[in-house]
C-alpha cells in the first residue's frame, strides 16, 4: 500500500505536490469513489485508480524533452478559457509528460518537459538554485542605477528578490526600448515582469533563453527535442539526486515539430 500522491507521481502523471493538489481538487478516484484526503493509501495492483477519469497504468519509463514554447500557450494541462496548452505541442510523445515549472501565456522560450516526478521536484526546489536566463525587451531607457537595483534585489509584494545577473544587451533610443538579459534562480510567479516593473520599465517581450544550462539552439518556436543522456545526468547532479540506474537513451530520437 502506498499513498495516493506517491502512486500518481510514480506513474509519471504529475509531481508529488501537483498530485496532492489533484487529490484535493477531487480529480482522483479510487475504485470509482472520489478521494479528497491526502492520507489515503491504495495498492495500484489491486485498486482501480483514476485521474480525470483515466485509469493509471503501470509506471512509464522516464523521458525528458526541451520545448521552445511559443507565446500564446498556457503551461497548465487544461485551461478553463479553452486556450492552447503546451501539451498540444508535444502530442506525438506517448508518455504523459508535463512542464517543469511555468512560463506565462505571453512568454516564449525554453521549457523542460518530463514525466520524472523526482527530477521535477528537485528542479523546482529552491535549494537547487536552478539558473534561468531571460531576454526582456522593456519600455524606456534603463539606467545603470536601475540595473544595479535589479542586480541587488528589488522589493516585490512577496519580498525582496535574490541577487540576479543583469546586463544591458541593447538600447534602442529611437523606439525608447531597452533589451536586458537577466539570470535568476528563483521561480516566483511573473518574477521577471514584476522586477522590471518595479524599476519602472514594463516588459514588452519576454523570452527564456536558458533553463538549467539548456538553451534553445537548434530549435524553432514550437519544436522540441529529447535531452541527451549527459544533459539528464547533469540535471540529476544539479538536483542532488542519486545517479540514474539505466538511461533511457533518448539521444537516438529525432527532434520533432
Q: Is 229 a catalytic residue?
A: no
| All cell numbers assigned to 173 | 533610443
Say how many residues touch ligand URA, by CB under 6 A: 8
Q: Is 95 in the site for ligand URA (CB under 6 A)?
A: no
DSSP conformational letter for 117: H
Please report how close the Cβ of residue 182 comes to ligand URA at its closest, in angstroms. 9
- For ligand URA, the binding residue among 14, 112, 191, 211 (CB under 6 A) is 191
Please report how close the Cβ of residue 104 comes to ligand URA at its closest, in angstroms. 4
Please report how close the Cβ of residue 62 comes to ligand URA at its closest, in angstroms. 25
Q: Is 190 in the site for ligand URA (CB under 6 A)?
A: yes
- Residues 97-126 close enough to bind ligand URA by CB under 6 A: 103-104, 107
Of the pair 16, 190, the CB lying nearest ligand URA is at 190
- Residues 73-92 close enough to bind ligand URA by CB under 6 A: none
Q: Give the Cβ contact number of residue 149 at 10 Å.
A: 18
Unique residue bearing C-alpha cell 541587488: 152
Q: Is 192 in the site for ligand URA (CB under 6 A)?
A: yes
Q: Is 252 helix (H, G, I), strand (E, B) or coil?
A: helix
DSSP 56-69: --SPPPP-EEEEEE
- For ligand URA, the binding residue among 27, 69, 193, 207 (CB under 6 A) is 193
DSSP 204-219: EEEEEEEETTEE-TT-
Q: 43, 104, 139, 233: which one is catalytic? A: 104
Main-chain dihedrals φ then ψ at residue 53, nearest 5 degrees: 80, 0
Of the pair 103, 235, the CB lying nearest ligand URA is at 103
Helix, strand, coil: what percent of the chain each, to 5? 25, 30, 45
Q: Which helix (H) or strand (E) holds 133?
A: strand 132-139
Residues that bind ligand URA (CB under 6 A): 103-104, 107, 190-193, 206
Amino acid at each position: 500500500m502506498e499513498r495516493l500522491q506517491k502512486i500518481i507521481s510514480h506513474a509519471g502523471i504529475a509531481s508529488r505536490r501537483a498530485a496532492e493538489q489533484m487529490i484535493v481538487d477531487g480529480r482522483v478516484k479510487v475504485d470509482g469513489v472520489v478521494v479528497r484526503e491526502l492520507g489515503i493509501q491504495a495498492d495500484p495492483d489491486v485498486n482501480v485508480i483514476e485521474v480525470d477519469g483515466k485509469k493509471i497504468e503501470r509506471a512509464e519509463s522516464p523521458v525528458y524533452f526541451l520545448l521552445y514554447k511559443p507565446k500564446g500557450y498556457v503551461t497548465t494541462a487544461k485551461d478553463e478559457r479553452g486556450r492552447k496548452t503546451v501539451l498540444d505541442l508535444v502530442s506525438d510523445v506517448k508518455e504523459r509528460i508535463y512542464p517543469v515549472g511555468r512560463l506565462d501565456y505571453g512568454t516564449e522560450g525554453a521549457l523542460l518537459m518530463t514525466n520524472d516526478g523526482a527530477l521535477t521536484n528537485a528542479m523546482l526546489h529552491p535549494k537547487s538554485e536552478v539558473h534561468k536566463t531571460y531576454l526582456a525587451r522593456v519600455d524606456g531607457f534603463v539606467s545603470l542605477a536601475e540595473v544595479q537595483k535589479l542586480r541587488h534585489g528589488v522589493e516585490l509584494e512577496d519580498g525582496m528578490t535574490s541577487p540576479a545577473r543583469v546586463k544591458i544587451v541593447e538600447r534602442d533610443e529611437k523606439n525608447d526600448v531597452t533589451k536586458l538579459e537577466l539570470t535568476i534562480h528563483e521561480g516566483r510567479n511573473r518574477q521577471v515582469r514584476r522586477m522590471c516593473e518595479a524599476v519602472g520599465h514594463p516588459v514588452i517581450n519576454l523570452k527564456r533563453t536558458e533553463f538549467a544550462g539548456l538553451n534553445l539552439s537548434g530549435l524553432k518556436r514550437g519544436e522540441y527535442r529529447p535531452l541527451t543522456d549527459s544533459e539528464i545526468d547533469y540535471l540529476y547532479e544539479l538536483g542532488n539526486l542519486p545517479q540514474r540506474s539505466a538511461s533511457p537513451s533518448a539521444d537516438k530520437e529525432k527532434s520533432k515539430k
